[in-house]
Amino acid sequence: MNSKFTQARQVLSQIGQLLLQIGRYLADLWSDFWTVFWPWFRQSEFVRFFKPRLGDSLVMHVIRGCWYVFFASCLACVLYFKSVEYNWFGWYGAMPDVKLLENPKMPTPSELYTADGVLIGRFYKENRIPVEYRELSPNLINALEATEDIRFRDHAGIDLPATLSILWYTLRGDRRGGSTISQQLAKNLYRTRRKDAKGSLSVKYPQLTTPIYKTKEWITAVDLEKTYTKEEIITLYFNTVEFGGGAFGVKTAAKVFFSTTPDQLTIPQAAMLVGMLKNPTTFSPIRRPERTLERRNVVFNQMLKYNFITREQYDAFCKTPLGLQKSVEREEENGAATYFRGVMNQYLENWCEENDLDLYADGLKIYTTIDSRVQAHAEAAVAKKMKEFQKIFDRHWGNQYPWRYKSGAVIPNYVENIAIRQYRREFDRVGRDTAIFLALMSNKKKMSLFSWDKGEFTDSLSVLDSIEYCKRFLHTGLMAMNPHSGYIRAWVGGINYKYFKFDHVKRSFRQPGSTFKPFIYAAAIDSFGYSPCATFLDAPVTIKYQERNSRRGHYSFWTPHNASQSASYARVTMRYGLGRSLNTVAARVTEAVGWGSVINYARKLGITTRMDSVPSVGLGSSEVTLYDMVGAYGTFLNEGIWTEPQFITRVEDRSGRIIHRFRPKTRRALKPESAYLMVHMLRGGLQESGGTSRRLFSYPKVVSNNELAGKTGSSSNYVDAWYMGLTRDLVTGVWVGGDDSSIHFRTGQYGEGSKTALPIFATFMENVYSDSTNLGITKGRFPTEQELRLTLNKNLICPSVTYTGYRPRSDSTANRSGADSTSGGQ
């Protein structure tokens, strides 16, 4: 019963609201008629002159009838305008809401800032930077009013003489527009000419489209004039217009075409920009400079006509060239932290969608954890060292192809197969005929290229040539993070974003080699109570195991070997084994703790990629990302608490109100004492005899009065080179390698992590420590051994090697062609 009563009440309420709305419509009509037309009729000269003279004659009745027809027509116009304004019966399409008129939502790019307040990127579909009225040059305003709407200051949204003149010019065959600035603003701001719903008259009867759209613009223009001052309308107009070339709004256009600001625009510059508004494509100064020049001179003529410039100025201005000072560039391909911005794009799109925001229109301000100064030091280190390594790589291979099988043989049809994958549509279009396709791909054309020596240059190459050229480049990734806060301070995803857009920090999955070994020792120390002084035999070992999908009772055997191709046959400490990156010791520790435990600790420390449950997992046989590895190593410096790498701190709206603060995820991964011990273990790379990080001593600016820890890594056939470096304030990961795993060095002389990745880390830290500004990154000590002993009550000063009577000798199981995927390497 209550349900029926509620439904009835809702129906009555809806009927009441409908009657109320109809009443408002009628009231508006009645008000418009009686307050405007009827008083005008009663007080008109017609009534005053003719009524006393003609009285009640036939002529008077005819004249009075004509007037009634006139007023009936006026009433019909009012009725029509009201029907369009309120979209009666859905015939005309929606009009802008009153709230939109009062608070117009103009698409505004979101901006990406560094932690120290430097703008590094903008996200937009319309490249627009809002401008205020005081920032507009008078030259710009004068040019606009002279060309588009000379009576702008006098009318209330509709220029009646200009509107009526359209019919006269149309009859003469001269097509002209009569839209005022306010009408054009209505069209730009509220998309009054967007496609209406299927039931509207403009869809059913296309010939009515223009009258209906014009009516909407007239109504909206009048409402805009009621809502805003003339100055505000001018400002909104210049913020909404498109100038072509991806430039929306006059501030962006002034920067793109003249490298200046709107308040500094000269008369010729302002005239060119205003002239472009008629049709930004037709009057593009880049594609059609001659037409643009003609159109600019038309604007000069209008300015002369209405006395905004003198005859002498007109004659001089018409002879001046366009004077473009900058061509349109793709903003996302230039500037700092380009790879970081590229990754943020997808992340922020998803975040904004979840939070009902528009990344490209809401004018958000996104503050990142990147420090612009640290980022600059990272980019400089990468550029300096990768230029050197590329020369070495080119000399190393010479004219030979670097894409090889593990056996060393060249991969046949490597370039051709890549072309087929990248140009699949063209391949399908020619009926998958390889010969025709390759002939098509062999046609040469001018293309832009990159080299370390020349920078950007142009050459004539075919598609196949360009693929071969690009595949010979070495690539890199670098990420530096504050281990205590999780804030990422630098992110370099490659060598040149414009030509190689793939990010090698978060999107690249590569074998980590020996940089994965600390997870073995973390499991041994944290879960099984091993000490860094625990000893294991440095001798060949074979581990029997069963793979996941193998038949029951079918076993595999794994026999790792050291990168030096020899074993000492001595008992060595875990710290010594990690410092020298001995695979035999790592394998024995893995066997002692179980490879399942190694995987478990890698997960706890933040590795998210798939890991195979095999004994070689601890030597880096499964692929990881540099992003995960840096987060994992940060746990050792953060007292065992894993902190998710953080790249955003907060998001603000266009008014500066904080919408969201980002907090990193954290969890306890290791006991504090275990984390301290792992830092002590990783210092062994510099302190133990033959440690793989001892090359850092070639960089005195980094090691003097400072303590460091780190781990090198190299994967199979020297495909991937890694270095993970730790200081008291920063953990940094570096990867160097080819575009895919078939491109690599042939020997450890160049291809090991200590030879390529470590120098980038060291150069980066040199740059950071040489910075005189307050970066918050200083030299200092890790917890001292005395502090560790007091904390753990364990003596950590122990002999590295205990000899067993055997002499070091070659490892008979070694594969002398180079380190394989289970070797780890240096």
How far apart (Å, rounded) are the C-alpha atoms in residues 163 and 221?
Answer: 14
How far apart (Å, rounded) are the C-alpha atoms in residues 335 and 818?
Answer: 40
How far apart (Å, rounded) are the C-alpha atoms in residues 290 and 317?
Answer: 15
Residue 327, CA distances (Å) to 47, 239, 320 in order? 66, 21, 19
Question: Quick one: pLDDT at residue 449?
Answer: 94
pTM of the model: 0.77
**Of the listed ranges 18-22, 439-443, 738-742, the one predicted with least confidence:** 18-22
| Cβ proximity of 767 and 381 under 8 Å | yes
Render pLDDT for 104-125 as a digit per residue (tens, 0 to 9).
Answer: 667 788 999 999 999 998 888 7
Confidence of residue 805 (pLDDT cuts 50, 70, 90): very low
Strands 365-368 and 110-113: parallel
| Cβ proximity of 73 and 103 under 8 Å | no
Question: Quick one: pLDDT at residue 36?
Answer: 47
| Cβ proximity of 702 and 732 under 8 Å | no
260 phi and psi angles, rounded to 5 deg: -140, -175
**pLDDT of 818 over the 50 cut:** no
Confidence of residue 796 (pLDDT cuts 50, 70, 90): confident
Tokens 């390889």 -> residue: 434
Question: Quick one: pLDDT at residue 177?
Answer: 56
Using alpha carbons, select from 586, 569, 382 the residue that is nearest to residue 491.
382
**pLDDT of 53 over the 70 cut:** no
Question: Quick one: pLDDT at residue 123?
Answer: 87
Confidence of residue 166 (pLDDT cuts 50, 70, 90): low
**pLDDT of 199 over the 60 cut:** no
Confidence of residue 71 (pLDDT cuts 50, 70, 90): low
Share of the chain above pLDDT 70, in %: 76
Render pLDDT for 418-432 as a digit per residue (tens, 0 to 9).
Answer: 999 999 999 999 999
Question: Quick one: pLDDT at residue 812?
Answer: 36
Query: CA torsion sign, 589 to 594 to 597 to 603?
Result: positive
**594: region left, alpha or beta (phi > 0 left; psi from -120 to 50 alpha):** left
Question: Quick one: pLDDT at residue 87?
Answer: 59
Q: Which of 179-188, 200-209, 615-624 has the highest mean pLDDT?
A: 615-624
**pLDDT of 378 over the 90 cut:** yes
List the beta bridge partners of residue 711: 724
Tokens encoding 126: 């319309």
Confidence of residue 814 (pLDDT cuts 50, 70, 90): very low
Confidence of residue 131 (pLDDT cuts 50, 70, 90): confident
- Mean pLDDT across 326-335: 57
Q: Which of 134-148, 372-386, 738-752 has the highest mean pLDDT?
A: 372-386
| Cβ proximity of 236 and 228 under 8 Å | yes
How far apart (Å, rounded) are the C-alpha atoms in residues 632 and 642?
Answer: 7
Question: Quick one: pLDDT at residue 8?
Answer: 60
Please provide the average confidence, as pLDDT, over all residues in the chain: 83
Angle 181-190/209-227 helices, nearest 10 degrees?
Answer: 100
Using alpha carbons, select from 638, 615, 815 the residue that is nearest to residue 717.
815
**pLDDT of 387 over the 60 cut:** yes
Angle 518-528/583-593 helices, nearest 10 degrees?
Answer: 40
